[in-house]
Amino acid sequence: MPMIVNVRESRSWCAPRAAVRRLSGRAAAALLTATALLGGLTPDARADAPERTASPSRLQQDADALRDTGVTGVSVRLTTGHETRTVRSGTGDLSTGRPVPPGGYVRIGSNTKTYVATVVLQLVGEGRLSLDDTVDRWLPGVVRGHGNDGRRITVRQLLQHTSGLPDYIGEVAPHPSATEYRSSRWTTYTSAQRVAFALRHPPTFEPGARWKYSNTNYILAGMVIEAVTGRSWEHEVRARILRPLRLTHTFAPGDDPYLPRPHAVNYQQFAPGAPMIDTTLAYLPFDGNADGALISTTADTNTFFAALVQGRLLAPAQLAEMRRTVAVPGDPATPPGRRYGLGLSWFPLTCGGGYWGHSGDGYGYLLWPAATPDGRTAVTVSLHSRPGDPDTAIRQIRATTELIDHALCDVRRSTDGGRHG
């Protein structure tokens, strides 16, 4: 068993008062959790499709193979038009050996960006802004410094990561380590502060010249939503997506670093051979904004991505814009041919065609959802640990994408002989 250092999640910690103060939604999230637990149900037990725990199958074998790459705990949820299958592997707590809870809460990280992009595109459809608006049109003077200029960057370029803006993450986590995690995890920053951190650096490239992922883009997208509507991005996501789809187990936690129960423990190994550190508590310097704040479940995540690609959240013109992609530079961890739209990624399948999704990770977790183009099949894979060396990280991501590829291709073959999706 790996060496473990427990940073146990406890309400008795003497945390700074501001760090444990819930912003809007705390009472609602607590009520939802209490309702689920008092009823003897996990958050995902309300799924519309019949659910069964998968018997030994390729889905289970692939989850076990992912565990064997060194992931402490894995959970997978596969939803088709006929049924929902769940498999788990590994453990949800290295100290006790308890299994990964079925339907537990998870951090979804950068999958938050897809929700934010959806809201922006809804506002475009309402005629309240344009994808070709400059950032300066809505946030005058905010993006200035070291060659960065919001007068030359469009809303589309923010959503597609073609703005050239530097990423603020390096400023708030300059030396990832267990010490930094413990000492800085309660620190909070405003959106404006995060943008200011990024603007200490020159642009990565000229706006529109190429693609490079930058979390700063979505901090600004959240600020644009507020400038257009007069309400926070969290409010708009809740009103426009979560309520209509009845995603009652998805929420933005504000500055509250705790995961509701039930949940698996998340572990981060900060260096090769280093101990596994319990990082279930959020790292607030980068877990708390429009680039990656949301908490959800695999059931809600499947529902959201399926509804999105089915056109239940966006009008056809805006969904087409979201799915207008650019090439993404080669990545040794992912299959060749990945492309990026507006907050939505396209990944090829070995059986032809591909799927829409995203991915999101942070200290101790990785969540990877995928939906076929017609939305009839969706799968979400949740990993509850992250390794300390790049080679292992690459193996784990490859095992994740292989699991998704097998799951979606197997469903296609079993339903219509290869024509589905």
Q: Residues 215-274: pLDDT tens digits? A: 999 999 999 999 999 999 999 999 999 999 999 999 999 999 999 999 999 999 999 999
Residues with catalytic roles: 110
Domain count, the chain: 1
Distance CA 71, CA 337 (A): 26
Domain range holding 285? 48-416
pTM beyond cutoff 0.75: yes
Does residue 10 belong to any structural domain of this protein?
A: no
Q: Residue 13 carries which DSSP code? A: S
Does residue 355 belong to any structural domain of this protein?
A: yes
Residue 415 binned pLDDT confidence (cut-offs 50, 70, 90): confident
Does residue 230 belong to any structural domain of this protein?
A: yes
Going from the C-alpha of 158 to that of each of 110, 342, 377, the distances in angstroms are 14, 8, 29
323 CB-side CA count, 13 A:
20
Does residue 12 belong to any structural domain of this protein?
A: no
Q: Each residue of 160-203: pLDDT tens digit?
A: 999 999 999 999 998 899 999 999 999 999 999 999 999 999 99
**CATH number for the domain including 279?**
3.40.710.10
Does residue 39 belong to any structural domain of this protein?
A: no
- H helices within 39-186, ranges in order? 58-68, 112-125, 135-138, 155-160, 169-172, 178-184
Does residue 34 belong to any structural domain of this protein?
A: no
Does residue 225 belong to any structural domain of this protein?
A: yes
Task: Count other C-beta atoms under 10 Å from residue 297's C-beta.
Answer: 29
What confidence score (pLDDT) does residue 39 get? 33
What confidence score (pLDDT) does residue 56 get? 52
Does residue 4 belong to any structural domain of this protein?
A: no
385 three-state secondary structure = strand
Q: Each residue of 308-367: pLDDT tens digit?
A: 999 999 999 999 999 999 999 988 888 889 999 999 999 999 999 999 999 999 999 999
Q: Is 322 left (phi over 0), alpha (psi -120 to 50) or beta?
A: alpha
2 three-state secondary structure = coil
